[in-house]
A and B are shown apart, each in its own frame.
Chain A
């Protein structure tokens, strides 16, 4: 199809055409970046935790006053919990994934180092790895005789040096000793050295306030918690029995110590979903913005195209009288829109890149991958063609006889 007549028509509506191109360009640029942001947010909610999320239940308790004989109380609690039908493992932990509450400590590779190499989180409790369902990829889990009492250690700092072993994540090992096996290596907590005896595939930090890059910098220590030093009971359940276990567990704990308050009983799936709710909310807002933008742009195109069709009724009539088919007229308006959209999209790509540079500079976002550019382009071509179809069909329906009528 000859596009010269289209250009000469558009030249007569320079400002209007330019505005339409500008609108398409802006929409295209924002849509590209918004889709990228959505994918970033959704990807974040998929973050690997390394634990058997669908099987876990957390019971968070609070004590009124210091529990008498806290160590025995914890062991009793756990024994009773393990007896609940459907419970496959139970542990009392200092922290649980996605609860936004964590203990962290600076670690060194050399005791003479002045500054810490990095700060990692510490999981403590008997049977952390088994109960959470973290997967060992090298070395071993702690032996029963390696566990020490956390309370005893806290009251006697000299005992700290006796905690000889630690299990770390693959990611932490790779960060500390790139390219080497972490097994058998030593890390230093203050003056104390501990040896890596096992490596788990992954185990997420309970809170990510230090950024997502360090999400897997995790250590597990062979320390036994007491009812005074830890408040989070974690149960691993057989498939399908989570609900019944949750109902029974609260009752068991309350009966064993009526002076205790059950703060909440939640599945790890729920805890996880709550943890990422901001990301999902942001993704939802972005989807809303994309839809609103596309609708407004589409309506703008419909409006303008309708004006142009109404304005050119006589011209269309003349063309029809001179032998143009309905199809020719339809294609004319479709091509016109395609041309405007294409110019807008090309401009939009440049703008999208610019917006991405701005976001990278101010909001620590990564570079916009090239695959997102076609997303915006296709969206606007499709929207443009759909929007212009109505007015173009109306134009095609103009009868040749219009040419002979005066206004």
Chain B
């Protein structure tokens, strides 16, 4: 029976090739535009570290004075930690792994002569960073906690930067010059680029930035290396406010691994106790219960990384899809009703309403399949154009297999839905009446 309906549908579609093309085009454009934007949104809200994200947490304290207001600038200094707080949390060692970090950009000098120096983006962090996030090493390893304490000038390079500076990746033990200082290379990591770069300061370009070096945070503080994230001070005394060790300037990010719910609850309590203690000492003014612990995905949601433009474009695309759908419903309705004569002959010859309904449904679905195929092509074209557009999320705009399947399902679903009303309307055509009229 299905083959028969397919045959009928194909014949009917072939009878009005222009109209068929029009409907396929409309659904293809609508689906293509929507899927482009849904994919962009999907990759932007992706889990950057799927194997570990459920165990990663970032603690937040509120060291701001009671009367502090960030004046609607959108930057909340309490998103980051101060040096004394970060060091306290690090020393308390309450998690499985923990690390404090900040971003930095340094001028790197290639060892090979004749090559231009380049700006390299990287991270100042503490020894546990690599174990915490599971950064894969190609050569060597990270540094030790003793190196952190001693302020040892050691560095871990990304494979990419190692090749740029030395022409090869196996460079453990060699000396790299970053900024004004020489560092001993202790490790080289393979490409590791979680997108978004969830552990970075929220003012950066978290979708396009990749860390190319890692060096001890203590060196960055000792040598006052430039920090590329937001450094917000709130002290009245400008002298302590602008120093990296100052208690009134937040600039550090902190992540901790907690494996069980009990550990999470304990850590929360620890943060509140710590805040209460700081308040008793007179350093904190706000309620200790302001201290919170965000899970990785909660933190990303809290930061609201998806730009308004992307939301707006998604709404536009969905609006467009809706107009295309209304268009197809109207066209299918007109088309099916025009075949009232044929339908009533089939009804008079014994076809049930259900048969007519299924027959017309098959025809709509066929349009959906064709539209979905076209939509897929248009979405690929759309994503290609997104990748060539400004915006730091351009690089990650790719469709994964689940999105590919989703596009197809959406297209067929949309056109079957669009065909439902016309098919229902047409299957109510009375068997004989139409014959009489013509």
Contacts and interface: CB of A to CB of B under 8 A. Distances in A.
24 contacts: A15-B333, A15-B425, A22-B326, A23-B326, A23-B327, A64-B107, A65-B180, A114-B67, A115-B68, A115-B69, A118-B71, A119-B73, A190-B236, A209-B75, A261-B117, A263-B119, A278-B390, A296-B30, A299-B327, A300-B327, A303-B330, A303-B331, A304-B334, A307-B334
Contact of A19 (B117, B203, B330): B330
A20 B119 contact: no
Given A296-B29, A311-B338, A16 B324 contact: no
Contacts of A116: 71
Interface in A1-33: 13, 15-16, 19-20, 22-23, 26-27, 30
Given A30-B320, A66-B180, A19 B338 contact: no
Contact of A64 (B19, B73, B109): B109
A58 B322 CA distance: 48
Given A64-B107, A285-B313, A19 B329 contact: yes
B51 interface: no
Interface in A253-267: 261, 263
A282 interface: yes
Given A15-B425, A62-B117, A209 B203 contact: yes
Interface in B54-98: 67-69, 71-75
Contacts of B308: 363-364
B402 interface: no
B326 A19 contact: yes
B117 A64 contact: yes
A300 B203 contact: no
Contact of B311 (A23, A30, A299, A363): A363
Given A119-B71, A261-B117, A307-B338, A289 B330 contact: no
A289 B37 CA distance: 13
Contacts of A360: none
Interface string A285-316: 11001001100110110011011101100000
Contact of A16 (B30, B75, B180, B330): B330
Contact of B26 (A210, A299, A363): A299
Q: How large is the interface on A (under 10, 10 to 19, 20 to 34, 35 or more residues)?
A: 35 or more
Given A13-B334, A19-B333, A190-B236, 17 more contacts: A16-B337, A20-B330, A62-B117, A65-B180, A116-B71, A211-B72, A281-B389, A292-B29, A292-B320, A296-B26, A296-B327, A299-B22, A303-B22, A304-B330, A307-B338, A359-B312, A407-B438
Interface in B95-145: 107, 109, 116-117, 119
Interface string B280-315: 000000000000000000000000000011011100
Query: Which 10 A-B residue pairings sit nearest by Cβ, starting from the closest?
Result: A19-B330, A300-B327, A307-B334, A277-B390, A23-B326, A210-B73, A303-B331, A190-B238, A26-B323, A407-B438
A282 B308 CA distance: 11
A128 interface: no
A232 B158 CA distance: 30
A157 B67 contact: no
Given A292-B29, A308-B334, A282 B438 contact: no
A34 interface: yes
A28 B364 CA distance: 27
Interface string A203-247: 000000111000000000000000000000000000000000000
Interface in A347-372: 359, 362-364
A277 B71 CA distance: 28
Nearest to B32: A292
Given A23-B326, A27-B323, A65-B180, A304 B338 contact: no
A62 B330 contact: no
Interface string A124-147: 000000000000000000000000
B67 A297 contact: no
A116 B320 CA distance: 46
A310 B180 contact: no
A209 B313 CA distance: 21
A286 B390 contact: no
A304 B29 contact: no
B331 A300 contact: yes
B28 to A, nearest CB: 11
Interface of A: 13, 15-16, 19-20, 22-23, 26-27, 30, 34, 37, 62, 64-66, 114-116, 118-119, 157, 190, 209-211, 261, 263, 277-278, 281-282, 285-286, 289, 292-293, 296-297, 299-300, 303-304, 306-308, 310-311, 359, 362-364, 407
B316 A30 contact: yes
B173 interface: no
Interface of B: 19, 22, 25-26, 29-30, 33, 67-69, 71-75, 107, 109, 116-117, 119, 180, 203, 236, 238-239, 308-309, 311-313, 316-317, 319-320, 322-324, 326-327, 329-331, 333-335, 337-338, 389-391, 421, 425, 438
Contacts of B311: 362-363
Nearest to A277: B390
Nearest to A213: B72
Nearest to B116: A261
Given A282-B309, A285-B313, A300 B338 contact: no
A299 B326 CA distance: 12
Nearest to B437: A407
A115 B313 CA distance: 38
A307 B335 contact: yes
Nearest to A23: B326
A65 B320 CA distance: 56
Contacts of A66: 180
Report which residue of A285, A292, A311, A359 has the largest number of chain B beta carbons within 10 angstroms of its beta carbon: A285
B438 A303 contact: no
B67 A115 contact: yes
Contacts of B317: 289
Contacts of A23: 323, 326-327, 330
Given A23-B323, A23-B327, A278-B391, A292 B107 contact: no
A65 B109 CA distance: 11
Contact of B323 (A114, A263, A293, A311): A293
A376 B25 CA distance: 24
Contacts of B438: 407
Given A19-B329, A118-B71, A303-B334, A30 B323 contact: yes
Contact of A286 (B25, B117, B316, B425): B316
Most chain B CB within 10 A, of A15, A27, A157, is at: A15
B333 A26 contact: no
- Interface hub of B236, B312, B313, B317 (most chain A Cβ within 10 A): B312
B390 A281 contact: yes
A19 B311 CA distance: 27
B319 A62 contact: no
A23 B75 CA distance: 42
Max chain A C-beta neighbours (<10 A), residue from B117, B326, B335: B326
Contacts of A263: 119
A289 B33 CA distance: 9
Contact of B324 (A62, A281, A296, A308): A296
A92 to B, nearest CB: 19
Given A278-B309, A303-B19, A15 B421 contact: yes
B390 to A, nearest CB: 4
Given A15-B333, A62-B119, A119-B71, A310 B338 contact: yes
A293 B29 CA distance: 10
Question: Chain A CB within 10 Å — which of B67, B75, B203, B327 has the most?
Answer: B327
A16 B338 CA distance: 12
